[in-house]
Structure 1
Amino acid sequence: MADGATDEVIRVAGLGKSYVTAAGPFPALKGVDLTIRRGEYVAVMGPSGSGKSTFMNLLGCLDTPTMGDYFLVGRNVAHLPADELARLRNRTIGFVFQGFNLLPRMSLEDNVALPLVYAHVEREPRRERARAMLSKVGLEGYALSLPARISGGQQQRVAIARALINSPSLILADEPTGNLDSHTSEEIMALFRELNDEGITVVLVTHEHDIADHAKRQVRFLDGLIVRDEPTPRREAAPC
């Protein structure tokens, strides 16, 4: 099924992942069922070892399951060949990581445009698109700067611009505020909310409850299973 023919961006059924260890197979994920529809904003939570990071790696097509099915925008990608999986990942998913993952010797413009290089887009259209994305995240005028010359919050905005460059169906964010102070974290989360309000599906991993509260839905993992899946309680407005 082609992208756009379904409102299910993510559907996993019986999804599991085991790793080989010296003590034998270790089931990090034990048969998970979950659907995330277009335009949702979901926080994935859980303690260390709960399976949430394994789950996000599978969602991002960075790893393959040992059992079950994963439908990404209607296509079962659980067992696609690596090259086909990489092409689908590049055009469908935008990644935002805790560590920004910017290349220090490349300008911000070139960092943002990097996914378009892999998509074989010509240089001038790449530059135009990258500058537009930098403007979208409030960094117009910074295109020729290097990552070391801007703040951590600005670097994360560059990472978000890079994630948006291919107009993805899905943004996956792994602890996107982990290296930021509380004020900057709020600014980044406000940007994610704006993107979600525009219709982009956002799934983020976080261990911080105040960050998870920005999402509209919270999914909690424990021991390789989903133990909670519910809408985020709305905060009461402070009295005047």
Structure 2
Amino acid sequence: MSGADIANVCNEAALTAARHNEEYVKLHDFEQAIERVIAGLEKKTKLLSPDEKKVVAYHEAGHAICGWYLEYADPLLKVSIVPRGQGALGYAQYLPADIFLYTTQKLLDRMTMTLGGRVSEELHFNSVTSGASDDFEKVTGLAQRMVLQCGMSPKIGTISYTIDRGQDMTKPYSERTAKTIDSEIRRIVDECHERCKNLLIEKADQVELVAQELLTKEVITREDMIRLLGKRPFANRNDAFDKYLASKDEKGDD
């Protein structure tokens, strides 16, 4: 978060504490404030039907399982199927690391995780929903940047085809190159989709566990994920939250 975001969270936490007549701002006030800043105000009047709630639960479970078992995905903090502002029927909160350079594998893991919701719907229901439209926008944008700007497509090579050229609306490449660009973007997205599908089929039991926990509790945390699935299977890649907890334990021991 930026400094302004953090200030906004502090203000929201103070308001939350005041609404509940608390003497001081507590940890759960900050947690609610972060959710409000990230995902919007909780919509208590927006009641989902049982069928809609089930779809959202399996959608979010797909994201959560992909994030748990993909090495370079952002660590998961919380998953919710409580409707919030800006049309969000559910959301997953992550703890992104301070990364300034993204490798191809990191981008592919992020795209695969983003497709997890839609793929989970495909595997568990006869029809898919419109809930993944924002996910598709993110995945397509990443694939475009990989091909057009980052030199991560073997067929396009180390050439930058930046579209934004001010007033010049002409494409900086030929029609033949345009077809190659389209096919490479499609290839990257399709490969991530297939990889995501294989992972969720392999981890079908875990998807079911997380989805049922969401349907029961509506909100599950990182601790719930560890209880259900065990720790993430990447001992050499402890996430920032693990390191934060470890540093607190060390200070406590002193």
Under TM normalisation by the shorter chain, which class is it?
under 0.3
TM-score by length of 2: 0.25
The structure with higher relative contact order (CA 8 Å, sep 6+) is 1
More strand by share: 1
Q: Which has the higher Rg, Structure 1 or Structure 2?
A: 2
More helix by share: 2
TM-score by length of 1: 0.26
